[in-house]
Amino acid sequence: MALTPADQVARAAAAEMAFFEGFTLETREANGQSLRFRRAGSGPPLLLLHGNPQTHAMWHRVAPILARDFTVIAPDLRGYGFSSKPAVSADHAPYAKREMAADMVALMAGLGFPRFQIVAHDRGARVAHRLALDTPDAVERLCVLDIIPTLEHFERADMAFGLGYYHWFWLAQPHDRPERMILRDIEDWFDLHTSREPKDKSFFHPEARADYLAALHLPGTVAAICEDYRAATTIDLDHDRASRAAGQKITCPLLALWGAKGSIPKWYDALAIWRDYAAGPVTGGAVASGHYLAEEAPEEVLGWLRDFLRHQ
C-alpha cells in the first residue's frame, strides 16, 4: 500500500534520527576501484548516487524509506568519500564520467544486479547520464536531481552561469592551484561551497556533515574533486559530443527534478532540455528546496519517486 504524505514525513524524520538504521556499511572491489557503500532492503535494485562535495550519506533521509520497497545500494563515487582516489593525470581520464559509470555497472553486477533503477544527484547524476548512454540495457529507470546535461551547461554558458556556477571553472583550473587554496581551510571551503542558498552549519545532519568533512580530509579527495571538474571540461565533453553526433539518447523513462529555490529554473526549461536528450518518456518538476533536494525536502522527493520507480 502506498504511503500517505503524512507517513512519508514521519518516516523521513525517523530515518534522519536513526541515520541509516538497518543498513550495512561495506567495501567492494569493482572496475579496479575500492568502493564504499551502504546496502539495505529487499525488492528491485535501486542505485543512489551522490553529488559534490558529499558522500553517500546525503541519502540518509530517503534511503531507509526506499529500502522498504527496494534493495538500496548507496556508494561513494570514485574520488569521493572513502572510495578509491586515482591519481591526477594529464588527460583526466580516470575521472571521466564514462569510467565512473563503469564502476557503478561493475559494482551492481558484482552484487547480482545486472539491471537496476537509478536516483542520482548533482555529479552523481552526470555519472548516471553517461551510464544510461553507455550501458542502456543496465538502466530500467533514471531520476536525475538538479542538473541538466553537462554539454548543455557549457554550450549555453553566459554571465549568469559563470557567476552562479563559478566553481565549475575554478575547480577545473590546472593542478594544484584550486587544491592548495581549498586545503588551507577545508571546512571553511565546504561551508562556502555548499551555500548556494544561505544556510548555517546546522543545515546538514551532524553525522552526514561529519562524513563529508572526514572524507575531504583524506589524502587525495580534494584533488579528485578537482579532477572530476577538469574531466567535465575536457574528456567528458568529447564523449558527450560523440554521443550526440551518433544520435545516442537515454532510452529508459526519465524523471528530472530540480530545486525551486535554485538556479536550474532561473536559467533553463529543464524538461524541454532533457527531452532533447531522451528517446523515452520524460517527466518531472520542481521541488520546494534549494540544491540539496534529498536533504531539504525528502518527503517531496519520496512522493515523486513513489510514483516513478517500478516496485515489482
Cell of 259: 530545486
Distances from the Cα of 78 to the Cα of 75, 123, 124, 157, angstroms: 9, 11, 10, 27
d(CA 83, CA 77): 7
Which H or E run contains 154?
helix 150-155
Helix (H, G, I), strand (E, B) or coil at 78: coil
Q: What is the CA radius of gyration of the chain?
A: 18
Q: Would you call the peptide bond into 176 cis, given omega within 30 degrees of 0 as the criterion? A: yes
Active site residue 122: yes
Q: What amino acid is encoded at 155 in this protein?
A: E
271 burial type by CB count under 10 A (0-12 exposed, 13-18 middle, 19+ buried): middle
Q: Which of 291, 299, 304 is nearest to 50 (CA)?
A: 291
Considering the candidates 69, 103, 122, 236, report the single residue annotated as catalytic: 122
Cα separation, 81 vs 259, whole angstroms = 24
291 is catalytic: yes
3-class DSSP assignment, residue 238: helix
Q: Which helix (DSSP H) or strand (DSSP E) does residue 197 occupy? A: none
Residue 174 region by backbone torsions, left for phi larger than 0, else alpha for psi between -120 and 50, else beta: beta
The count of C-alpha atoms lying within 13 angstroms of the C-alpha of 114, restricted to the half-sphere facing its C-beta, is 1
37 in Cβ contact with 75 (< 8 Å): yes
Known catalytic residues?
A: 122, 291
